[in-house]
Amino acid sequence: MPPERTCVGCKAKRDQTELLRLVCAASGEVVFDHTGRAPGRGTYVCCDARCFRRAFKSPRLTSVFQRAVVVPTLDAACGTILSSLYDRLGGCLSIAQRAGGLVSGYMSLRRACSRSRVVYMVVAEDAAAQRAAEYRVWCAEQEIPYITLFTKEELGRRIGKTSRSAVGLLNPHFRVSFCATLTLLQTFEASLDFL
Ligand SMILES: [Zn+2]
């Protein structure tokens, strides 16, 4: 089990994997520690824009870091987290590709789906409507969960290839890490509506 940590914004206790880590740079600037392993004293915040707002407004960060701190603007912090989460999702695909746990290209994807090897599918936002509909039929037939995410060009770039209209994950392990990050992203995006 991952250790529990407390959100500096709302004070809720959560698994460390569900929280974002904040560290204080030498300049006093509070920044997100995207790796979760940056040295120095850190504190945690929920992946929720409302918790960012509470954390940045309160004197809590000053007392956590025991020094005067400079906090990012809420807009900047939200932008940073969104791009970092999209990056992490792309990173999951890239790792899966390198490990032989990803299939792409129409024919390969069709073959893998028909052999029940695909455990999760990512369909590009700008995939041709007819092609996207075909992917959805395959997913429905094989009960494969899927998400529409990234452009064709981004999807291809993430796996070191030319543009791809869809990719399939072949290993439940990769699906778990991809979906964990996706949940964080969706939770975070939903929280923006409450600002
Ligand atoms: Zn919180």
CA 52 to ligand 1 center in whole angstroms: 8
Compute the distance from residue 49 Cα to the ligand 1 centre, in Å.
9
Provide the pLDDT for residue 126: 98
How remote is the CA of residue 48 from the centroid of ligand 1, in Å? Answer: 7
CA 7 / ligand 1 centre spacing (Å)? 5
User: How far apart are the CA of 30 and the centre of ligand 1, in A?
Assistant: 17
pTM: 0.89
Q: What counts of helices (H) and strands (E) characterise the chain?
A: 7, 9
Using pLDDT thresholds of 50, 70 and 90, give the confidence band for residue 54: very high
Q: How far, in Å, from the CA of 46 to the mean position of ligand 1?
A: 4
Ligand 1 geometric centre to CA of 58 (Å): 13
Taking ligand 1, which is a single-atom ion, which protein residues have CB atoms under 5 Å away? 7, 9-10, 46, 51
Q: What is the pLDDT of residue 58?
A: 79
Q: How confident is the model at residue 53 (pLDDT cuts 50, 70, 90)?
A: very high
CB-based contact 68:62 (threshold 8 Å): yes
DSSP at 70: B
> How many alpha carbons fall within 13 Å on the CB side of residue 157?
8
pLDDT over 90 at 195, yes or no: no
Distance 174 CA to ligand 1 centre (A): 27
**What are the DSSP calls for 6-65, one per residue?**
EBTTT--EEEGGGEEEEEE-TTSBEEE-TTS--SS-EEEEES-HHHHHHHHHSTHHHHHH
User: pLDDT of 168-180, one tens digit each?
Assistant: 999 999 999 999 9
Radius of gyration of the chain (CA): 19
Domains of the chain: 4-72 (3.30.1230.10), 93-174 (3.30.1330.30)
CA of 21 to the centre of ligand 1 (A): 12
